[in-house]
Amino acid sequence: MRRVSTNSIRDIGPGRSTRGDRPGSQDSCEVRLPLQVPRGETGRVSDLSATRPFRLLALDHDVALELAEERLRLKFVTLFDWDTVHDCLESSYDEFVASSRVPTYLPVLAERFCRRHLEARARDEGKRQRVDPTVLFLCTHNAGRSQIALGFFDHLARGRAVAWSGGLEPSAALNPAAVEAMAEIGIDIGLGRPKRWTYEILRAADIVVTMGCGDICPLVPGPRYVEWIIEDPAGLDVDQVRPIRDEIGRRVADLLVELDVLAVH
């Protein structure tokens, strides 16, 4: 993949293109942004031309992934080498591509998932000390209950604690009734995508909350496991999902009080 300067990127506009001339490809493009990465313990400052490219993608996704990779490399420069960050971001993108029907936000979702994965891996490998409480919400398909719980957690914790969600058998898309029910109270979970848990995230969690999958959830030493008995919203309409949403919200708030993230009202 050829590199072009950031000036060239800024010159791209209507009627202009950096389309590559790769044989057999007329719709793909090749764009690389130069990265200025400071030295760290494992950060490598090397010839930029040696940086591995992403596969040929549409221009907007290619550029978005390049920028995402730059942000992730700077964030994890003392923890992981460039190849590790690249592989994580590319595999995250591939996972969402396989299940997404609306590709618009794929680079954003891939960056978010990759960042959480690398955070978990850093904690698991002892490269980063645990400071904020970390919770993993698990349900069977990561389409309803665990996504609702994650939405409440992020909304209430305001960055003072870390949470992930995952499923044992991820669905192709979120439960639309769950998305609508959360939107009613001002919490947008619509950009989420069902995804499978990883051992790195499982081992990095302080608490693993299971909903409907406790009997088949993988057990690893370290986290405290908590089972929430909550009805599965799959196949239910919004009216039926609201009580489930409210119950999960109460439980998440109680959990955050227990973790000293929220004050007792």
Question: Which residues have a catalytic role annotated?
Answer: 139, 213, 217
Angle at alpha carbon of residue 86, lines to 149 and 16, rounded to 5°: 100
For the chain, what's the residue count? Answer: 265
Burial of 17 per CB tally in 10 Å (0-12, 13-18, 19+): exposed
Q: How far apart are CA 41 and CA 39, in angstroms?
A: 7
Cβ neighbours of residue 46 under 8 Å, at least 6 residues apart? Answer: none
In which region does residue 222 sit, left (phi positive, over 0), alpha (psi from -120 to 50) or beta (all else)? left
Among 4, 12, 78, which residue's Cα sits nearest to residue 48? 4
Helix (H) or strand (E) holding 137: strand 134-139
Per-residue burial over 179-191, b = 16 or more CB atoms within 10 Å of its CB, e = otherwise: bebbeeeebebbe
